[in-house]
Structure 1
Amino acid sequence: MPAAVPLADNAVRHADGQGHAARFDAQSTCAVIVTHGPDPALLQQVVASVVPQVGHVVVFDNGSGGVDVAGLLAGHRRVSVMPSALNVGLGAALNRACERARELGFLHVLMMDQDSVLAEGMVHTLGAALVELQQGGDVAAVGPQFRDARSGELAPFVRFGFPFNRKLRGGPGQRVSCDFLITSGSLVPVESLVRIGPMDEALFIDNIDMDWCFRAKRAGLSLHGICDAQMAHSIGEQLLASRVKQDGVIVHKPFRLYFIMRNRVLLYRRGYTPRVWIAQDVPRLVLKFIGNALFLPARWQRLVFMCKGLRDGVAGRSGGLPG
């Protein structure tokens, strides 16, 4: 396993009066990637896109089984793999990898999914924006604008509203204050993780980033989308064309619907969850339930997983997929 270079040897921090970095050094960033049965060729592409942009990469292999992630990445310098025989969940995997980054002395963490390919210079663009934004207040995270790897559609940044969210795509040079950033591509100061807390491991997967963003906003920290920072990424296993939604309909595997339904209900129960988000998300949950139960393949299987998720959400149960 390649050894990480301690931060003291590869980055220098200059601080302003508030303790924020006065300039951004990309070598102060550790990328953390969570893998679970990844496509080997795509993972190689992902890692190749991030290694030149950061000081180190920690890969938490979340029970991949048939894919030898450590062997696959053995040729990359400044990449270390944390293997787990079992799938401990996305939240726990991110937390263990971020803890490793902190132990190595890094000041920033770049969270990544196993299918996110960074554009050249993305980390530097995010970091430069972060440093400037920190001069005006505490920033929880900044995130890139991504294009769906399948459709090529540019994803918007989101501000919560009722009856509909505001979807803002911005333009060159723009920075969008938003209420939510997806985990992948988010550049997070370590001090933000300390202040806000780790990812909620009990959610296991799905809505983990939403929960963390809710807590960040409650703590008075801001979130910003940086339009000049770009990456390719895909949400869900399929993207179906739709006459109703311009950017298509995201389709997940049936078992994921358990977590999507359960964790939404769990978030509805939490005092820091914005009421406006709940008000406009409940109808979306209903539509998702109807769409999966009536119009997608494996309808009965989808219905069973959704009903179990709703039941456990109402009961306040969390953790992994029940047996």
Structure 2
Amino acid sequence: MTPPESAATRTLPSASGRSAIAAADICAVIVTYAPEPDLLTQVLDSVQPQVGHVVVFDNGSPGMDVAAGLSGREAVSVVASVSNVGLAAALNRAIERARALGFGHVLLMDQDSVLDAGMVATLAQALATLSQQGPVAAVGPQFVDARSGRPAPFVRMGFPLNDKDYGGPGQTVSCDFLITSGSLIPLTMLDRVGGMDEALFIDNIDMDWCFRAKAAGLALYGVCDAQMHHRIGEQLRASRVKRDGVVVHKPFRLYYIMRNRVLLYPRASTPRVWVAQDLPRLVLKLIGNGLFIAPRWIRLRFMCRGLWDGVRGRSGPMPTP
């Protein structure tokens, strides 16, 4: 049964008579770092038929020649970095390449996101339709966790808890946040909002961009009929508290997760309601990782270091220990 509609969740009208965004005007952007070759092949096989071109930015993968591995693919450009410049900078450089190639829209993707058939066309039609009602910064798919098989909700911020909306067939959901992977963004909106914040390096980059887009009066929508399979974090552990499980990150990622949220707190574009509800989440993450997930001391040390650097306003790549 289709869930009831609300002001934030609604069914799109028929596409008849509405201008569409051609696949030929969409360039997919994929950032890689030590990708699994077989999985990257699946990702490219899923996206190439749906877009006009693919730009792969390899972020200094150690011991791998990603460009050589993709040399036989048509309509794929590889930008190879000699070092890891961070996710934000990699996305910005790849978007610049898409712009130079003459594309008007970019589809941002992670190296482990496998698209369902027709996902991009569904996003493009939704973007064209929704843009007639007001400026739309981005639309994104509903992703299914590749490990648990559970769909992820779209989020609207609230206090003390967020409103999580799973939507239903044929519906779009007005939301406050879209993950990077799967987001379809017009380059004109990147001009208005700005690019990804390279000072953050990795983690919370998509959150910061969405905050800036919303602060600029632009809308974000999740499109329920557009779907992909995706992974968040390195592991997903079962939990009695969280239905969808607990995402487990590597210790070095915890440094950025902790530091960057602190860096976002004072920014004018960051909603105060998010800060209010994120502070308790920060404490819970600190306790949960420091007490219950091995190696506890290492995880705690990385998190505390990130918090300290965040308080000091330190950004960029994590300093070498």
Q: What is the TM-score normalised by the length of structure 2?
A: 0.94
Quote the Cα distance in structure 1 between the aligned partners of 2:146 and 2:109: 15
Partner SS, residue 306 of structure 2 = helix
Quote the Cα distance in structure 2 between the aligned partners of 1:48 and 1:70: 16
CA offset at residue 95 of structure 1? 0.1
Quote the Cα distance in structure 1 between the aligned partners of 2:26 and 2:287: 43
Match of 2:296 among 293, 296, 299: 299
Partner SS, residue 55 of structure 2 = strand
Quote the Cα distance in structure 2 between the aligned partners of 1:272 and 1:230: 29
Match status 1:309 vs 2:315: no
Quote the Cα distance in structure 2 between the aligned partners of 1:297 and 1:119: 35
CA offset at residue 74 of structure 1? 1.5
Match status 1:245 vs 2:248: no
Q: Which moved more, 1:36-45 or 1:62-71?
A: 62-71
1:140-219, aligned counterparts within 5 Å? 140-219=137-216
1:91 aligned residue: 88
Match of 1:261 among 242, 258, 261: 258
**Percent of residue pairs identical:** 71
Quote the Cα distance in structure 2 between the aligned partners of 1:271 and 1:175: 28
1:1-323, aligned counterparts within 5 Å? 22-323=19-320
1:16 aligned residue: none
Provide runs of 4+ in structure 1 moved above 4 Å.
none
Q: Which amino acid aligns with 1:317?
A: R
Quote the Cα distance in structure 1 between the aligned partners of 2:134 and 2:226: 21
Quote the Cα distance in structure 1 between the aligned partners of 2:43 and 2:73: 12
Q: Could you give the per-residue CA deviations for residues 233-277 of structure 1, whole angstroms, max 9, x where no partner exists? A: 000000000000000000000010000000000000211100001
Partner SS, residue 199 of structure 1 = coil
Quote the Cα distance in structure 1 between the aligned partners of 2:155 and 2:241: 19
Quote the Cα distance in structure 2 between the aligned partners of 1:24 and 1:298: 48
CA offset at residue 76 of structure 1? 1.3
Aligned residues: 303
CA offset at residue 67 of structure 1? 2.1
Quote the Cα distance in structure 2 between the aligned partners of 1:128 and 1:182: 19
CA offset at residue 22 of structure 1? 2.8
Partner SS, residue 188 of structure 1 = strand
Partner SS, residue 142 of structure 1 = strand
Q: What is the TM-score normalised by the length of structure 1?
A: 0.93
Quote the Cα distance in structure 2 between the aligned partners of 1:193 and 1:315: 29
Quote the Cα distance in structure 1 between the aligned partners of 2:305 and 2:99: 37
Quote the Cα distance in structure 1 between the aligned partners of 2:190 and 2:100: 14
CA offset at residue 65 of structure 1? 1.7
Quote the Cα distance in structure 2 between the aligned partners of 1:82 and 1:298: 36
1:12 aligned residue: none
Contact 1:65 1:85 in 2 (8 A): no
Consecutive unaligned residues of structure 2, counting only runs of 5 or more, are: 1-17
Partner SS, residue 270 of structure 1 = coil
What's the C-alpha RMSD, in Å, of the aligned pairs? 0.8
Q: Which amino acid aligns with 2:263?
A: L
